[in-house]
Structure 1
Amino acid sequence: MEKVLEISDLHVSFKTYGGEVKAVRGVTFDLYKGEILAIVGESGCGKSVTAQSIMRLIPSPPGRITSGSVLFKGMDLTRLKEPKLRKIRGADISMIFQDPMTALNPTLTIGEQIIEGIMQHKPVTRQQAKKTALDMLDLVGIPNPLERLKHFPHQFSGGMRQRIVIAMALVCQPEVLIADEPTTALDVTIQAQILDLFKEIQKKTGVSIILITHDLGVVAQVANRVVVMYAGKIVEAGSRREIFYRPQHPYTKGLLNSVPRLDLEESELVPIAGSPPDLFSPPAGCPFVARCAYAMEVCDRAYPDKTHLSKEHHVDCWLQDERAIKMRVHVR
């Protein structure tokens, strides 16, 4: 498969009054053409910072990319000058932010906001841009798009605003779409509609999608591959089937066991005990060591090597070492 995006050994830090927060620590993954890649993990694990770093959207100061590369069409986005980056943002790589209300300008109509984005990146007339905007609103399921172009964000429901944000992100036909928690503020019914919309758009346009979420139910419905992050690192990655049916890292198992199960009688939520590590001073070994029921002495001293279990499935865990006692815990 063709690689669209290559992130290699990405490190991102934030300088604060209390010290340097090492938010992303050596993240490496690839995005392939036409796939949906999900990045999952609990709040504060570095998902959104990773996504924003791809487009160089982290505020600087205090944030900065200390090392690593983000390759797109042979260009390292971490080294590009701002004028060149502005041509790529929105045109080649687009992003959907968490809250659709704050992503839209409340003082401008929907039509003005979408048309402005088209004319910024495409050599078209205003009339041509308006037609493109109408076609995109129709694609994302906005009824009566000609009339709705004249409306302001507050005149739309939360689900409709999310559809408009998706339309704005796709209107210039980008190759990569980054969706940061796109269903968080929506009720369950609207979430399902938005997820169906993602799958439909992906099939029609062939766009490659990075989906940032903590909702494993969302991942199970749409993702082709899954990356599991914890304390700024990728601890496990694999196909959707491998992560859901053959998880190997104790953190991945903990995430799956903490999801409500409606298909099992008297199923109980099993929370992950403890708290994430302090990223002002990250541990030298596995960051999950303090919360892991299977932690060994070596886990606290050194970070584990990456173990490849299949072409797509890999995990960073000392339990994969042949000298370790194998876990006898299975996700129900």
Structure 2
Amino acid sequence: MEKVLQVHDLHVQFSTFGGIVHAVRGVSFSLYRGETLAIVGESGCGKSVTSQSIMGLIPTPHGRITKGKIQYGGRDLAKLKEADLRKIRGVDISMIFQDPMTALNPTITIGEQITEGLMEHQKLSKSSAKRKGLEYLEMVGIANPDIRFKQYPHQFSGGMRQRIVIAMALICEPDILIADEPTTALDVTIQAQILDLFRQIQKQTGVSIILITHDMGVVAQVADRIAVMYAGKIVETGSRRDIFYHARHPYTKGLLQSIPRLDQEGELIPIAGSPPDLFAPPQGCPFTARCDYAMEVCVRVYPERTHIQDAHLVNCWLEDERAGLGRNAAGKNSYY
């Protein structure tokens, strides 16, 4: 498969009054053409900061990429100037932001907002941009696009606003679409419609999607591959089947145990404790304090990456061949 994006050893820091926050600490992953990669984890684990880094949206001077590469189209996005990033942002790589309620300008019509990118980047005339804008409104399921084109955001429901935001992100036909918690503010019925829309659009356009979420239910429906993120690091990566049926990292298992399942009765099992302080991140595995299987080496040394099979990778000392418990203990305690 063709790689469209490669992130290697990405580090992002923020300077605050309380000190330096190490928000992203050595994240690496690849995105392939036409696939959906889900990045999952608790709030504050660095998911959104990773996506903002790809888009060149880290607020300066307090935030900065201190190390790493973001390879796209033969260029390192981490080193590009703002003028060059503007030529890529919204054209080759687009982003759907978390809250559809605030993603749209309330003082400008939907039509003006959806065609702005076309006229700016593709230099289309106003009439040509309008034709394409109406086409994309119809594609994302907005009824009566001719009428809706002239209306303002407050005249739409939350679900319809999210569809409009998706149309705006796709209208310049990007290679990559980053969706940051795209269904968080929506009810269950609308959420299902938006996920169906993602599948239809990907089938029609072949766009590669990075889905940022903490909702494992959403991940199960749309993801091809999953990267599990914790305390600024990716701790496990694999196919949807690898993660849901053969999870190896204790944190991944904890996430799965904390969500309701129709085939099991009883109480949900939360992950005890809290994530580590990223002002002073731990030297070893960041999950050590919350892990039932932690060993002495976990405190002192960050675990090396272990290849399980195919694309299934995990950073956990339990999976290292030198560990006393090894794979059998991890398998025995597997959620599935």
- TM-score, length-scaled by structure 1: 0.99
Counterpart in the other structure of 1:242: 242
Instruction: Tell me, in whole angstroms, the C-alpha distance in 2 between the residues paired with 1:296 and 1:227.
Output: 24
Q: Is contact 1:91-1:173 (8 Å) kept?
A: yes
Counterpart in the other structure of 1:283: 282
**In the alignment, structure 1 residue 91 sits paired with structure 2 residue 91:** yes
**What is the CA deviation profile of residues 68-108 of structure 1, one whole-angstrom value per residue up to 9, with x for unaligned ones?**
01010001001111111101000000000000121100000
Query: Do the aligned partners of residues 46 and 24 (structure 1) sit closer, same or farther apart at CA in structure 2, a change above 3 Å counting?
Result: same
**Counterpart amino acid of residue 319 in structure 1:** L
Instruction: Tell me, in whole angstroms, the C-alpha distance in 1 between the residues paired with 2:134 and 2:278.
Output: 46
**What is the CA deviation profile of residues 133-186 of structure 1, one whole-angstrom value per residue up to 9, with x for unaligned ones?**
000001000000010001100000000000000000000000000000000000
**In the alignment, structure 1 residue 311 sits paired with structure 2 residue 310:** yes
Structure 2 counterpart SS, 1:128: helix
Q: Is contact 1:261-1:267 (8 Å) kept?
A: no
Instruction: Tell me, in whole angstroms, the C-alpha distance in 2 between the residues paired with 1:145 and 1:165.
Output: 14
Q: Which runs of 5+ in 1 are unaligned?
A: none
1:1-332 to 2 correspondences below 5 Å: 1-264=1-264, 266-322=265-321, 323-325=323-325, 326-327=329-330, 328-332=332-336
Instruction: Tell me, in whole angstroms, the C-alpha distance in 2 between the residues paired with 1:169 and 1:97.
Output: 10
How big is the shift at 1:330?
2.4
Instruction: Tell me, in whole angstroms, the C-alpha distance in 2 between the residues paired with 1:177 and 1:146.
Output: 26
Q: Which runs of 5+ in 2 are unaligned?
A: none
How big is the shift at 1:6?
0.5
Q: Is contact 1:7-1:30 (8 Å) kept?
A: yes
Instruction: Tell me, in whole angstroms, the C-alpha distance in 1 between the residues paired with 2:95 and 2:10.
Output: 19
Instruction: Tell me, in whole angstroms, the C-alpha distance in 2 between the residues paired with 1:304 and 1:313.
Output: 16
**Counterpart amino acid of residue 168 in structure 1:** M
**Counterpart amino acid of residue 120 in structure 1:** E
How big is the shift at 1:277?
0.4
**Counterpart amino acid of residue 95 in structure 2:** M
Q: Is contact 2:23-2:46 (8 Å) kept?
A: yes
Structure 2 counterpart SS, 1:161: helix
How big is the shift at 1:2?
0.3
**What is the CA deviation profile of residues 248-295 of structure 1, one whole-angstrom value per residue up to 9, with x for unaligned ones?**
00000000000011222x232100000000101110100000000000
- TM-score, length-scaled by structure 2: 0.97
Segment drifting more, 118-127 vs 87-96? 118-127
Structure 2 counterpart SS, 1:186: coil
Structure 2 counterpart SS, 1:160: helix
**Counterpart amino acid of residue 277 in structure 1:** P
Q: Is contact 1:109-1:150 (8 Å) kept?
A: yes
Identity across the alignment (%): 70
